[in-house]
Amino acid sequence: MAEAVFGWTPSLERLVLALDDNSAAASALARDGLAVVTDGRLTLRPDMVMQRRENWLTDAACPAFPLSYTMTDGRRHPRRPPKPVGTVYARFIPWLSDVISFRVVDIAHDLPLVHRWLNDPRVDTFWNEAGDVDKHRQYLSRIMSDPHMVPLIGSFGDQPFGYFELYWAKENRIAPFYEAADYDRGWHVIVGEDGFRGRRFITAWLPSLMHYMFLDDCRTERIVGEPAAAHSQQLRNLDLAGFARIKNFDFPHKRATLVMLLRERFFGDRLWQPAPKEAPIEA
């Protein structure tokens, strides 16, 4: 309900509650970080409300993993939690009157879908992973066995529309190109279904994916990406979603742009809501 109220009134900075500060309900809200006392009144703040993971993360989502370091290919980094199974995030999107959700890839079930998407010429232009079913089975198996990556399928209602790879930046190929922190996270995306391209959908799935990554571990302060520097449309979309362009750099396989979204910016500027309509956005 609080998400809806703040969404309907973007200028609303806080929601004053008609509760006694000493009541059990008020104490519970304050204890859980949902309400604070401002000018002697109990209030809800949008940036705090949207960080309550229980409202959007499902039982399949892992709790924050204890900090313990290990080494991978000469890189010291925190141990990562076991991969979850099933649906990890769900959120109602009012402008679509539908629910977006993300679930972990099940290779036996999702291989035909990912295989079709990776062979889409529009996708292959930037992914360069077209091939037969065996190639894509091996590809997904590698991702599933890699502790620093989580592959997801995004759906609107019961219709899958896209494939997402989430990664911990410190163990990723991006790490040598900037000073990666322990819980920085990044992502790759395929929007596989043409019917789910365009502004209405990207303003739902892009902030929802960022929301999930920030909620999944409260120690994640930055989300990074490395889209192709030539992918001008994706870069414009990321600009509108709050990402800053840090620099261009060269991978062995492409020239990329390092982009970055801060946790404080995402929640402080309410970037889970759509960009202004006058700014066109496409997938």
Residue 251 CA to residue 241 CA, distance in Å, equals 24
Q: What is the DSSP string of 74-107?
A: TEEEEPPPPPP-SEEEEEEETTTTEEEEEEE--H
157/3: higher pLDDT: 157
Domain ranges, ordered by start, for the chain = 1-49, 57-268
Residue 70 CA to residue 105 CA, distance in Å, equals 26
Confidence (pLDDT) at 20: 63
Phi first, then psi: what are they for 226, rounded to 5°? -140, 60
Residue 77 CA to residue 53 CA, distance in Å, equals 24
Enzyme catalytic residues: 226
Residue 256 CA to residue 166 CA, distance in Å, equals 17
| Contact present, 152 and 88 (Cβ < 8 Å) | yes
Confidence (pLDDT) at 281: 46
CA dihedral (67, 72, 74, 76) in degrees, to 10, reads -10
Confidence (pLDDT) at 36: 81
Residue 154 CA to residue 104 CA, distance in Å, equals 9
- What 8-state DSSP symbol labels residue 23? S
94/59: higher pLDDT: 94
pLDDT tens per residue across span 153-179? 999 999 999 999 999 999 999 999 999
The residues with which 38 forms a beta bridge, in sequence order, are 41
Q: Average the pLDDT over 125-153 and give the result.
A: 96
pLDDT reading at 69 higher than 60 = yes
**What is the residue type of 67?**
L
Fold observed for domain 57-268: Aminopeptidase (3.40.630)
Q: How confident is the model at residue 280 (pLDDT cuts 50, 70, 90)?
A: very low
Measured CA distances, 89 to 10, 60, 95, 111, 186 (Å): 24, 9, 18, 21, 17
